[in-house]
Structures are given as C-alpha cells and as structure tokens.
Structure 1
C-alpha cells in the first residue's frame, strides 16, 4: 500500500505536519481565505443560484447538501488536488509544470461562466500579488500564462508566499470557498445568519478529510466531472433574474 508520505512526495507536496503556524503566517492565510480579498469571489454562486431557480435548493437542508456535495465532488476531486500540485510546482520552481496545471484548469471548466470565473479571479489575484511582491519572477510568470492565470494556480502561489505548508494552504482554499458559497445561499435562498453558521459548521467538519485526500491525489486520479452542475451553470447564463455572475 502506498503511504501518504510516499504519495505526497510523488505529487510534490509534503504530508500533514504538526505544530502551530507562526501568527503572521496564520493571519496571511486568513487574509487569503477572506471574502474581503479583492478578487470578486463574493460575486459568484457557482451554479447555486441556478439550482435555486430549478427548486433543487430551497431551504437550509437542501442548501447544506448542495454545498457539501460540491465540496466533495467538485472542489475535493479537482481544485484542491490541483492547488496541492501547483503548490509543489511553484515551490520546486517547475514552471512548465505550473503552465500544464493551468491549462488543465481551463480545459476542464465545464461552462463558459466557470471558465470566466477562474480566469477573472486568477488575474485579480495576480494583480494583488504583483502589488506586494513586484520582484518575484514567479508572479511575473503567473501573469504570462495564456490566456490568463487560473484561480487555483494563482492561489497556490499566494499561499506559498505566506510560508504555510501545503495542507494549511488547502484548508484556507476550501474554507474560503465554503464561506463564499454559504453567503451566496443566505442571499439567494434566502436564509438567516444562524442557518449560515450551521452550514459552515458542517463544511468545517468535512474539509479536513477532503483536504487529506486531495494532498495525496495523483494526476491520473484528479478529475472534473460534475455534469449536473455544468448544465445548471449553462442555464444560469440565460437566467432572467439573478444576483451572481455564475
């Protein structure tokens, strides 16, 4: 049986580590996970608004199921393994590998909206990084990715700048995504703040095991296959009344 340590070495990340993070590192990770980060994450519902229109999501229970399913079947099988592998590639200075991973993200986005989202957020995070680390050649390379850097690849580099290990980087990515999705549900279902806190509690319980699996997911097991979500995203493009960009 392949050990977690051996698989992590093969994917360019390190196994889970023990010990507290430095306060500055922890705060920088919190900064990246915050909805206040100026990348526009709050403006997307990632298909949730279309699911509400279709009455697939209509209350707290169905909204919670939607977020947890998307966390496990979408983020957990595609974006989180990609962030882990991009973190390893950036850390090793393997820029061709970074470019390959960026192409994979673009080519596996299953709707026009989803591709526009990952490219817009990737460009915005690149600009944010450029203001803070203008002399980092990796940030310059990120800006040269065509037609645009994608969000998971840019986020991996941003977390590397914090000094955090890969596992903590993935936790920040997953929690930031979950918080944005819960906020979208509060506005669009709509739900109350207490319901949102209960949903976040469920997401927090799920994130740890999903991150641990993502850390040891090799290239040939990473996948982006959520056909129902893709259909809803395509329908959202022509949805008559909407609050969100996806």
Structure 2
C-alpha cells in the first residue's frame, strides 16, 4: 500500500492521457525530419536521446525539481523567478508558446481538481510547464516521494510523447518506436541523476538551455509548409 501511494500519483502525472495537449508538440523533431537530420529509427533514437540529455536533464527537469521544492515551502517569489527563467530560456516563439500552453493546461487541470493553492501563484498568467509540473507534484505527489522517482516519471512521460511524435513524423512502425523507448529507458536514470544534481547546485549556470541546433530548426518550423505538430 505504501508503494502504491507514492507510485500511482506519479503515473497519473506522467500519463499521456493527462489533458494538457503535450501530444500536439514534437519539440523540433518534425523540423529535423524535414531537414533530413532524422530519417529512420537510428537517427530518431539519437535525436531524442540527445534532447533528453542536453535539454530535459539540464533545464526542464531541474527546474521542475526546484519548483516542487519552492511550492512545498510556499515560496511564491522563487516560483516566479523560475518561471521567468523558463520563459527567457526558450529560443523561439513556438517553443515558448509550447511551455506556456502546456503550463496553462496543467494549471486548468489542477483547477478542475480544486487543487490549486492560490498563495503559490498570485499572478493572472498561468505558469510555464516545468513550474506548473513542480506545483502539481507538490499537490498530488505523496510527501515521501523521492525526487529521483518523480523526475523519472516525468522523463518517461516526455519520452513516450517524443517516440509517438517520431512514429508519426518520420514515420516509423510501432515496433521501432518501442525499440527507441527501450533505449530511452536505459538512459533516463543518468539523465535524472544529472537533473537532481543540477536542482541542488547553487551555481546560476547549473540550469542550462543551450541547444542552438534545436533553436535553428524550431525557427524553420514556424514557417514550414506542411506540419503535423505545433513545434
């Protein structure tokens, strides 16, 4: 019973069925396909694995961890500072819109559960995705949930969405998608370890969002002729 009380809320938050619209974004993968950088199972796996380590582990996961800690402490100023960092870290309009819209979806989801503490976020604009996730963890996760378990669940949910985007955009078969997901499952523990370390690091450069190739492709995607995804 104790294991279920910590595991089930994480499965809920990581579920692709959570009504936040994450499935409609490829986070640059569709533009990478258009540019020929991703064209088969191997290149799709490489792209998503690189994004896991170079983007998610360095930026969004540690930001979520810090937001979770700030929310549990009732530190509204720290939450706002994190949210400002996330908004300024997005290199293109569509990547910024993505984090804002998914954050809005998470905020609306918390509101629908009557689980949104007003004191944490006294602002009219909903928080960005990593900050909203941190607050959702503070509300929904069991108090004894280990940080690494929470971040692993979030990373797996992200990986599932990324693989589904690859299946549609490359395109790939379901078996190929599962093989990529197996690769990612093997890499997630190292990414989570990196994110946990960065979440506790006082160095202001511990959180990084330097992915120039992704920024270039995302800029191209904004004007791409044919698109399935919003990013």
TM-score where L is the length of structure 1: 0.87
2:134 equivalent in structure 1: 156
For 1:194, the equivalent position in structure 2 comes to: 175
CA distance in 2, matches of 1:147, 1:108: 18
How many angstroms does 1:22 deviate by? Answer: 2.8
Please show how residues 130-149 of structure 1 align to structure 2 within 5 Å: 130-134=111-115, 136-138=117-119, 141-142=120-121, 144-145=122-123, 147-149=125-127
Distance in 2, matches of 1:204 and 1:134, equals: 31
Could you give the per-residue CA deviations for residues 17-47 of structure 1, whole angstroms, max 9, x where no partner exists?
xxx9631331221111111110000000000
Structure 1 40/195 Cα, relative in aligned 2: closer, same or farther at 3 Å? same
- Equivalent in 185, 189, 193 of residue 208 of structure 1: 189
Q: Does residue 1:122 correspond to 2:103, yes or no?
A: yes
Tell me how far apart the structure 2 counterparts of residues 128 and 136 of structure 1 sit (CA, whole Å).
13
In 2, are the aligned partners of 1:49 and 1:188 still within 8 Å (CA)?
yes
Q: Is the 8 A contact 1:99 1:145 kept in 2?
A: no
Counterpart of 2:18 in structure 1 is 37
Per-residue CA deviation, residues 74-101 of structure 1 (Å, 9 max, x unaligned), is 1111111111111111111111001100
1:140-175, Cα deviation, whole Å (9 max, x unpaired): x44x44643100000111122221332222111111
What corresponds to 2:208 in structure 1? 223
> What is the alpha-carbon distance in structure 1 between the residues aligned to residue 116 and residue 124 of structure 2?
21
**Contact map agreement 1:122 1:152 (CA 8 A) in 2:** yes
The answer to whether the 8 A contact 1:87-1:166 is kept is: no
Contact 1:156–1:169 (CA<8 Å) still a contact in 2? no
Which 5+ residue runs of structure 2 have no aligned equivalent? none
| Whole-angstrom CA distance in 2 between matches of 1:183 and 1:129 | 25
Q: State the SS of the aligned residue for 1:58.
A: coil
CA distance in 2 between counterparts of 1:64 and 1:145 reads 39
Aligned-pair CA distance for 1:188: 0.7
User: Cα distance, 1:196 vs. partner?
Assistant: 0.6
Question: The residue matched to 2:43 in structure 1 has which SS?
Answer: helix
Residue 226 of structure 2: aligned partner: 241
Unmatched runs of 5 consecutive residues or more in structure 1: 1-19
Which runs of at least 4 in structure 1 moved beyond 6 Å after TM superposition? none
RMSD between superposed Cα atoms in Å: 1.5
